[in-house]
């Protein structure tokens, strides 16, 4: 019995270590957030939502907590401490609470108004989304082919908006849509395509 108990203990320790390593690997894929910038909070939320393969909800809570710092982490931990069961708190509830605390409705409305008028704000916002897309591709072992990516610009003015960079290249602007670009031509390395598509439930 002693030997069986020892083997059981070793197996439990190995399982805990493996579980912890899975969580740490996912934490390293997420940009740590301190809540100081609403834009970075939104980026953090998007990166958290890209994570797949965690064993249970408790592991998701560890990932969320491990990828935060500063006032952002303090608010998160205070919110979790108020719940009946920390490990059972849903991501949707955490996201809603943190958005309310760190991304005010006034801030969001202000930027929505600016983005409809000023290309100098639209282009950085697009770049931010493209950076998240590139990070997603890197996580799943793929690379985007920036030379096959075009930024379409629709406006009554003839002025060219600020440049947009993606995957290390500056995108060309076009006033007309193109139908010659295919998924295969935009992805240089598609080794992770099957897993990525499954993760996104495509």
C-alpha–C-alpha distance, residues 83 and 23, integer Å: 22
Q: What is the pLDDT of residues 49-72, one digit of tens each?
A: 988 888 899 999 999 999 999 989
- For the chain, percent of residues with pLDDT exceeding 90: 27
Q: What is the pLDDT of residues 77-119, one digit of tens each?
A: 999 999 999 999 999 999 999 988 888 655 555 555 555 566 7
Contact status, residue 45 vs residue 95, Cβ threshold 8 Å: yes
**What are the residues whose beta carbons fall under 8 Å from the beta carbon of 168, sequence distance 6 or more?**
146
Q: Model confidence at 139, in pLDDT bands (50, 70, 90)?
A: confident
C-alpha–C-alpha distance, residues 154 and 97, integer Å: 37
Residues 29-55, mean pLDDT to the nearest whole number: 89
Name the residue ranges covered by the structural domains of the chain.
Answer: 2-103, 134-199
**What are the residues whose beta carbons fall under 8 Å from the beta carbon of 32, sequence distance 6 or more?**
67, 68, 69
Q: Which of 58, 30, 64, 16 is nearest to 138 (CA)?
A: 30
């Amino acid at each position: 019995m002693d030997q069986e108990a020892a083997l059981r203990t070793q197996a439990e320790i190995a399982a805990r270590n493996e579980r912890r390593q899975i969580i740490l690997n996912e934490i390293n894929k997420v940009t740590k957030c301190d809540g100081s910038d609403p834009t970075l909070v939104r980026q953090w939320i998007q990166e958290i939502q890209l994570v797949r393969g965690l064993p249970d909800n408790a592991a998701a809570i560890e990932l969320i907590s491990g990828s935060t710092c500063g006032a952002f982490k303090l608010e998160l931990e205070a919110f979790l401490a108020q719940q009946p069961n920390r490990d059972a708190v849903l991501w949707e509830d955490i996201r809603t609470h943190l958005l309310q605390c760190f991304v005010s409705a006034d801030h969001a409305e202000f930027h929505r108004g600016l983005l409809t008028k000023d290309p100098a704000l639209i282009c950085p916002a697009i770049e931010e989304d493209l950076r998240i897309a590139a990070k997603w591709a890197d996580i799943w072992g793929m690379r985007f082919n920036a030379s096959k990516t075009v930024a379409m610009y629709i406006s009554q003015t003839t002025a060219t908006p600020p440049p947009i960079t993606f995957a290390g290249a500056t995108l060309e602007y076009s006033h007309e849509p193109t139908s010659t670009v295919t998924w295969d031509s935009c992805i240089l390395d598609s080794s992770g395509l099957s897993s990525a598509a499954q993760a996104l439930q495509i």
